[in-house]
Copies of this chain bind each other. A is one copy, B any other.
Amino acid sequence: AQGRLLLAAALVSDAQYNRNIPFETSPGAVRLYYLYNHWVMQATTYFFIFLNLSLVLFEEPAVYPLPFLATSLIEVLCLLVFSVRLMHFAKVTPRNVFWKDTKNICVMVAILMSLTDLAIFGALRIYNVRSVRWSRIVRPIFLINFAESRQIRRAFRSIRNTFPEITYVFLLFMFSVLMFSLMALKLFGERNLQTAEGLPYFTNYLEIVFDLYVLVTTANSPDVMMPAFDFSWWYALFFITYVIINTYIFMSVFLAVVYNNYRKHLKNEIRKLAYMKRRKMVEAFNLLKEEEGAEFVVREAQWKQLVKLVAPDISNSHRELLLHISDDEQKGFIDKKSFVRLADLLNIQVITLKIRRHPLGRWMPRVYSSAASQFLRSMVRHRGFVWTYDVIILINAIFIALDEESPYISYAEWVFLALYIIEILLKVYTYEPRTFFGKNQFWNWFDTLIIFAALTATILNTTLKSTTEYNSQQILDIVFILRVLRLIRIVDSIQRFRVIMNTLINIVPTMLTFGGLTLVVYYVFAIIGMELFQGKIQFFPANSNAPHALECGNPALKDSMFARGKYCKNNFNNFASSFIVLLELTVVNQCGFAKVTVQAAKLYFIAFHIVMVIIIVNIFVSFILEAFFVEY
Interfacial residues, chain A to chain B (CB-CB below 8 A): 63, 168-169, 171-172, 175, 179, 182-183, 185-187, 190, 194, 196, 205, 218-219, 221-223, 226-227, 229-230, 233, 236, 240, 243, 247-249, 252-253, 255-257, 259-260, 397, 400-401, 404, 477, 480-481, 484-485, 487-488, 491, 496-497, 500-501, 504, 539, 541-542, 561, 564-567, 569-570, 576-577, 580, 583-584, 587-588, 590, 617, 620-621, 624-625, 627-629, 632
The residue on B at minimum CB distance from A566 is: B196
Number of this chain's copies in the complex: 2
Residues in B neighbouring A484, C-beta threshold 8 A:
179, 182-183, 186
A179 touches B218 (CB 8 A): no
B226 touches A171 (CB 8 A): no
Q: A186-B400, A580-B229, A620-B248 are in contact. Are A565 and B569 (CB under 8 A)?
A: no
Residues in B neighbouring A226, C-beta threshold 8 A:
565-567, 569-570
Q: How far is the CB of A474 from chain B (nearest CB, A)?
A: 9
B632 touches A257 (CB 8 A): yes
A-B pairs with lowest CB-CB distance, top 9: A256-B628, A252-B624, A186-B480, A196-B566, A218-B588, A168-B496, A221-B588, A222-B584, A252-B621
Q: How far is the CB of A405 from chain B (nearest CB, A)?
A: 9
Report which of B169, B187, B561, B584 forms a contact with A221, defined as CB distance below 8 A: B584
Please report whether the interface of chain A is mostly helix, strand, loop or mixed according to DSSP.
helix
Residues in B neighbouring A187, C-beta threshold 8 A:
477, 480-481
Residues in B neighbouring A256, C-beta threshold 8 A:
624-625, 627-629, 632
Q: How far is the CB of A304 from chain B (nearest CB, A)?
A: 45
Q: How far is the CB of A117 from chain B (nearest CB, A)?
A: 28
B564 touches A222 (CB 8 A): no
Q: How far is the CB of A373 from chain B (nearest CB, A)?
A: 37
Q: How far is the CB of A578 from chain B (nearest CB, A)?
A: 11
Residues in B neighbouring A196, C-beta threshold 8 A:
564-566
Report which of B260, B497, B539, B583 forms a contact with A230, defined as CB distance below 8 A: B539
B628 touches A257 (CB 8 A): yes
20 sample A-B contacts, Cβ–Cβ < 8 Å, listed by A number: A169-B500, A172-B497, A179-B488, A182-B401, A183-B481, A183-B484, A187-B477, A194-B542, A222-B570, A222-B587, A226-B566, A226-B567, A229-B569, A230-B541, A230-B569, A236-B576, A236-B583, A253-B504, A256-B624, A260-B628
Residues in B neighbouring A570, C-beta threshold 8 A:
222, 226
Of residues A187, A222, A252, which shows the largest number of chain B Cβ atoms within 10 Å of its Cβ?
Answer: A222
Residues in B neighbouring A229, C-beta threshold 8 A:
569, 580
Report which of B247, B249, B587, B627 forms a contact with A247, defined as CB distance below 8 A: B587
B480 touches A259 (CB 8 A): no
State in angstroms the CA–CA spacing of A385 and B269 once bound together: 46
State in angstroms the CA–CA spacing of A259 and B625 once bound together: 8
B583 touches A182 (CB 8 A): no
The residue on B at minimum CB distance from A539 is: B230
Residues in B neighbouring A569, C-beta threshold 8 A:
226, 229-230, 233
The residue on B at minimum CB distance from A561 is: B565
A205 touches B401 (CB 8 A): yes
State in angstroms the CA–CA spacing of A566 and B227 once bound together: 9
Q: A233-B576, A620-B252, A624-B252 are in contact. Are A587 and B221 (CB under 8 A)?
A: yes
Residues in B neighbouring A542, C-beta threshold 8 A:
194, 230
Residues in B neighbouring A627, C-beta threshold 8 A:
256
Q: How far is the CB of A587 from chain B (nearest CB, A)?
A: 5
Residues in B neighbouring A628, C-beta threshold 8 A:
253, 256-257, 260
B182 touches A400 (CB 8 A): yes
Besides A187-B477, A205-B401, 17 other A-B contacts (C-beta < 8 A):
A172-B491, A172-B501, A179-B488, A182-B487, A183-B480, A183-B484, A186-B400, A186-B404, A186-B484, A218-B218, A230-B542, A236-B580, A243-B583, A243-B587, A256-B628, A256-B629, A260-B632
Residues in B neighbouring A259, C-beta threshold 8 A:
625
State in angstroms the CA–CA spacing of A564 and B541 once bound together: 24
B223 touches A500 (CB 8 A): no
State in angstroms the CA–CA spacing of A260 and B504 once bound together: 16
Q: A183-B480, A401-B205 are in contact. Are A566 and B230 (CB under 8 A)?
A: yes
Q: How far is the CB of A334 from chain B (nearest CB, A)?
A: 42
The residue on B at minimum CB distance from A220 is: B588
State in angstroms the CA–CA spacing of A542 and B230 once bound together: 9
State in angstroms the CA–CA spacing of A259 and B256 once bound together: 12
Residues in B neighbouring A221, C-beta threshold 8 A:
584, 587-588, 590
State in angstroms the CA–CA spacing of A505 and B194 once bound together: 36
Residues in B neighbouring A539, C-beta threshold 8 A:
230
Residues in B neighbouring A491, C-beta threshold 8 A:
172, 175
Residues in B neighbouring A480, C-beta threshold 8 A:
183, 186-187
Residues in B neighbouring A624, C-beta threshold 8 A:
249, 252-253, 256
State in angstroms the CA–CA spacing of A389 and B481 once bound together: 66
Residues in B neighbouring A169, C-beta threshold 8 A:
500
